[in-house]
Amino acid sequence: MYTAEEFRQDVIANIKGNSEFSPLVESILQNSKFQFNDTSYFTRVIWNTYERNLVIFCAPEDRIELEKYKDPLYSLCSKIHGNQDDYLIMSLEIIAKNHISPVTNATSMTDDKITITTSIEIDRSSTNNIGHGGFGTVYKYYDEEKEELIAVKIYEPSIFQNSSPEIMKKRFLREGKKLLSYSHPNVVKAFDYGFLGDESAYIKMEYISGDRLSDFVLSNKPLNPALIDTLCYQYIDAMSYIHSQTDMHRDISYSNVMVTKANEIKVLDFGFARNADDTNYDTEYKDIQRKFVIPNEKYTFRTEVYCIGAILYTLITGNTFDDYNPDSIDESECNFKLKEAVKICLSLKPEKRFSDAVELKKFVQKSDTVIIPHNFSLDFFKKMLSESVILHFYPKNLPTKEIIAEWLDNKYREHIKSSAFQSTVNLLSLLNHISGVTKITFYKNVKYDLDKTPFIELLNFYDTLSDEMKELFIRNILLIILEVSKDDDLDLPFC
């Protein structure tokens, strides 16, 4: 049975990074209690389903904030809940309870500590301070829930920034939202963001143990050719992913690319990132430190490709870009195709460069060997379904290849896109979009808010396939789904 507490956790997971709601709404729901009030009345929405009313209990101080978002909250709750245990949510009521501690104005920051919630307090001592930049200070913190160190970036802008504090804070929160929308192994992962009192804000991210790229290269030169190839391809793949979202990083530097202890690339710091279609961006261009950009060149995707080339140059030659020498590229023992790609990236004329990192990635993949391997497998999908759900369909109405193709090409894609600002995806909501599903039976003690990364990788891999291979891929997904499907006898609620 789907409990109210399980549902509350699902709602919180879907609100993370959702632009329809303020960051405070998530914090309030974290501190709230959900209750189902079930009736014996049939709904007129789906056959054989009953009315379920949702009640959210919160502190009196927090009720006003939730009431502001009651309509979109009800819409989201209805979508997430769907048809569970033969019930549909038909109403939402918000009730204040004095015994619940308020969240509003609970966050604070002093000279000694930072309080994000009543259970998360960060000591601002020098031992926890791990970095400072134009937007703020980064602290490390042990998250008991995740049982690991995380990094918390606090909004404390540099006095040397030219923009107003209001614009800087807005930009900081936009960075948190953007990071939550990303899902790539070589891009820093964000877990949460929100306001910190009235003047500040925070972003919770994965803690990265390693060195900034230039320090790593200079202290370990000469790098092994195989390691050079690996790091370069990871960086290209990360930047290709960012460009595929039609985003530009706009602040590429050695400090914003790290190499972990496991020799993995991590791209950081998206405070100046901008979507190419964003016409309301408020960053003053003079705020951006144009570290690798040719003077007087308007910043475009081709400009960013030049900056990517500067990073790749350092990786393959072992020298910083300040000591740029074109001849040193040919002296590198790395992959030939990679050296040619760097030369194209560093062309002085923008029109001679790759149009973006997506084109760069395709270029390096055209070698005789597969440079960026596609070791994608549907094993995760098969294991996940077999251990989680049973899909019910009307008699003799099990899904076909055409139904699965339509689901993957449209509904699956739309669902992933609609959760752009979330780090998880709800499995039940995703499967509910398969045409013909009448009910989903799910196993107890199984989490249904799952890391979105493999779901995105599935879609990205599918998009790279030829039409013939796509058909084979869909057949494999169909077989996996059929293994957990059954066609039921038609059970009418009344005659």
Which residues are annotated as part of the binding site? Answer: 153
For residue 235, give every residue at least 6 positions away whose Cβ sits within 8 Å of its Cβ, in sequence order, or none: 186, 257, 265, 267, 308, 311, 312, 315
Radius of gyration of the chain (CA): 25
* DSSP annotation string for 471-484: HHHHHHHHHHHHTT
Contacts of 352 (CB under 8 A, 6+ apart): 344
Query: What does the chain come to in residues?
Result: 495
Give 110-119's long-range contacts (Cβ < 8 A, gap of 24+).
114/139, 114/152, 114/154, 114/196, 114/202, 116/152, 116/194, 116/196, 116/202, 116/204, 117/27, 117/30, 117/31
Q: How far apart are CA 25 and CA 62, in angstroms?
A: 9
Q: Which residues pair with 193 in a beta bridge?
A: 203
- The CA dihedral of 359, 360, 363, 365, to the nearest 10 degrees, is -110
Write out the binding residues for ATP: 153
Q: CA 449, CA 425: separation in Å to the nearest integer?
A: 5
Where do we find the tokens 């045409």? 435
Long-range pairs for 76-80: beta carbons < 8 A, 24 or more residues apart: 76/11, 76/14, 76/15, 76/18, 76/20, 77/7, 77/11, 79/429, 80/7, 80/10, 80/11, 80/14, 80/426, 80/429
Compute the distance between CA of residue 120 and CA of residue 196 in angstroms, rounded to an integer. 12
CA distances from 329 to 88, 310, 315, 321, 324 (A): 63, 11, 10, 12, 9
SS3 state of residue 441: strand
Name every residue whose Cβ is closer than 8 Å to that of residue 394 and which is 6 or more positions away in sequence.
436, 438, 487, 488, 490
Rounded distance between C-alpha atoms, residue 197 and residue 105, angstroms: 6
Contacts of 359 (CB under 8 A, 6+ apart): none
Phi, psi of 277 (to 5 degrees): -95, 0
